[in-house]
Amino acid sequence: MPRNGEMTLGLYLVQTGYHESAWRDPSVPANGGVDVDHYGHLAELAEGAAFHFVFFADTLSVVERDNASLARAGRNDGFEPITLLSALSSRTRNIGLVATASTTYHQPYHLARMLASLDHLSRGRAAWNVVTSGFEAEAPNFGDKELPHHDKRYARAREFVDVVKGLWDSWEDGAFIRDKPSGIFVDTTKVHLLNHRGSFLSVRGPLNIARPPQGHPVLVQAGASDAGIAFASEVGEVVFTAEPCLENGKRYYTSLKDKAHALGREENQILIMPGIVPIVGRTKQEASEKLERLQSYSHIDVQIETAERWLGFVVDLRSVDLDSFVPEALPETNLIRSRQKVLLDLAARQKLTWRELIRLVSASKGHLMVVGTPDEIANAMVDAFDQRAADGFNVLPPTVPGGLKDFVELVVPELRRRAKFRAGYSGQTLRENLGLKRPLNRFIQTGASTGL
Ligand SMILES: Cc1cc2nc3c(=O)[nH]c(=O)nc-3n(C[C@H](O)[C@H](O)[C@H](O)COP(=O)(O)O)c2cc1C
């Protein structure tokens, strides 16, 4: 699927836009975060353009650390992902629904059940973006002082995903026969106990819902440190990453696909989808003015706090000279390691001062940002696709709905003109639309015992 010449596209759903201060733009509904019609409209726009999925990120906390930035942050009134995507499942027919959920602070039984429900509700369009949590403010909401160590988070994530998949398999396809004449609802030769006892989790099973229509909802993974790449190569079917540099993107792409191949996985069963922030103008000048306008809404307190967070809270930007150059290295973070690396690489390549870097973080948070005409944006996407740095993109519009409309009306036709993006849906389920195989049931493969 990824290499039939057409790219995959996802829409990163966000309250008011990916730009940190999008909520202040006159075109944006400032209460978008808790308005289901707003999200319904965004999902319909994306579905109308044949996007493969909408993608909803998540954090289990308010992430700001002081009142000055909290007062101006436009993100702290948003929906819980599976709840919102359940509502969107009844407003859409074809588009995939990707929910982010952390393996550090959920229980696998709950999550397997909710995602199986979303897959049934949407008739096979659910996906799970597996994250391990990347913000320290989450820890005290779950009785912890700080996030567990990076390695430990990934170790739990591995076990967690295995348990969730096992629970989805606890009923074989067709186990619920619901035979009225005989009075038999369930074929007990098709149910399996998981009986999992591991280092972090203990789960008996079975799940109390039939195997999801897709067998397993699609597994998306976001986390690109060395540990994150290793994990993605094992479990990721779609990999969301941040990489603004084409050469680094090509290296990342090859390394991830090689690792997956070494584990016996087929290369075309992993789709690598970096983010792109498209600032679209009919002329370059118009695009630059749009970005400048958005930047003018950003307060320095918010910019500083946002940059500190994405660098992993290892530098106090109030104590540095903002007009000095960003250093080559910073102390290692326990938070999102890959993003710190991306931002330091970017600063080194473009010789950025702290002030320039923090402005850039407000706009793109380190993702590829292209400010230009539809032709220029399509060029950047096609280059990354053709040179194997990407199988597609998660599109992060700077504002919504305006920035999404610009992309759909101006960039999508340009991609189609170049035969790089499809005109409609080819299958019913998200797996079918992404060209991903439906997983076999692990218990059938092993001939495990049945019944309770
Ligand atoms: C592109 C990208 C998007 C991410 N989105 C989220 C998210 O929405 N919620 C979250 O808790 N963590 C998110 N993470 C971080 C992951 O939780 C990750 O498991 C962990 O923090 C460590 O990231 P690392 O492997 O890149 O160091 C994201 C990471 C990347 C690279």
pLDDT digits (tens, 9 = 90+) for 135-150: 999 999 999 999 999 9
Residue 336 pLDDT exceeds 80: yes
Q: What is the pLDDT of residue 449?
A: 86
**What's the Rg (C-alpha) of the chain?**
22
pLDDT 10s digits, 235-257: 999 999 999 999 999 999 999 99
The Å distance, Cα 373 to ligand 1 centre, comes to: 30
The Å distance, Cα 135 to ligand 1 centre, comes to: 9
Residue 1 pLDDT exceeds 60: no
Atom of ligand 1 nearest to the CA of 240: 1
The Å distance, Cα 219 to ligand 1 centre, comes to: 14
pLDDT more than 70, % of the chain: 99
Q: What is the pLDDT of residue 141?
A: 98
Strands (E), 132-237: 176-179, 184-186, 196-197, 202-203, 218-222
The Å distance, Cα 25 to ligand 1 centre, comes to: 27
Q: How far is the C-alpha of 370 from the C-alpha of 389, rounded, in Å?
A: 16
The Å distance, Cα 162 to ligand 1 centre, comes to: 19
Q: How far is the C-alpha of 153 from the C-alpha of 147, rounded, in Å?
A: 8
- In the chain, the amino acid numbered 439 is P
- Which residues are within 8 A (CB) of 82 and not within 5 positions of it... i.e. 6 or more apart? 99, 101, 114, 115, 118
- Which residues are within 8 A (CB) of 337 and not within 5 positions of it... i.e. 6 or more apart? 150, 225, 228, 312
The helix or strand, by DSSP H or E, that contains position 272, with its residue range, turns out to be strand 271-280
Mean of the per-residue pLDDT values for the chain?
A: 96
**Ranges of H-type helices in 61-149:** 67-72, 81-89, 108-121
The Å distance, Cα 334 to ligand 1 centre, comes to: 12
Which of 20-24, 74-78, 402-406 shows the lowest per-residue confidence on average (mean pLDDT)?
A: 74-78
- Which residues are within 8 A (CB) of 81 and not within 5 positions of it... i.e. 6 or more apart? 56, 57, 58, 99, 100, 101
Q: What is the pLDDT of residue 3?
A: 66
pLDDT 10s digits, 54-82: 999 999 999 999 999 999 999 899 999 99
pLDDT band at 445 (very low <50, low <70, confident <90, very high): confident
Average pLDDT over residues 400-422: 98
Average pLDDT over residues 335-353: 95
Residue 35 pLDDT exceeds 70: yes
* Single pTM value for the model: 0.97
The Å distance, Cα 434 to ligand 1 centre, comes to: 22
Q: Do residues 145 and 450 make contact, with C-beta atoms less than 8 angstroms apart?
A: no
Query: Best mutation site among 60, 336, 396 for ligand 1, i.e. most ligand atoms within 8 A of its Cβ?
Result: 336
Show the ligand 1 pocket: residues with CB < 6 angstroms. Answer: 57-59, 100, 102, 131-134, 222-225, 227-228, 240-242, 336-338
Q: What is the pLDDT of residue 51?
A: 98
Closest residue to atom 9 of ligand 1, CA basis? 58
Residue ranges and CATH numbers for the domains of the chain are 8-279+368-446 (3.20.20.30)
Closest residue to atom 1 of ligand 1, CA basis? 241
pLDDT more than 90, % of the chain: 95
Atom of ligand 1 nearest to the CA of 138: 11
**Ranges of H-type helices in 73-207:** 81-89, 108-121, 150-168
Q: What is the pLDDT of residue 397?
A: 98
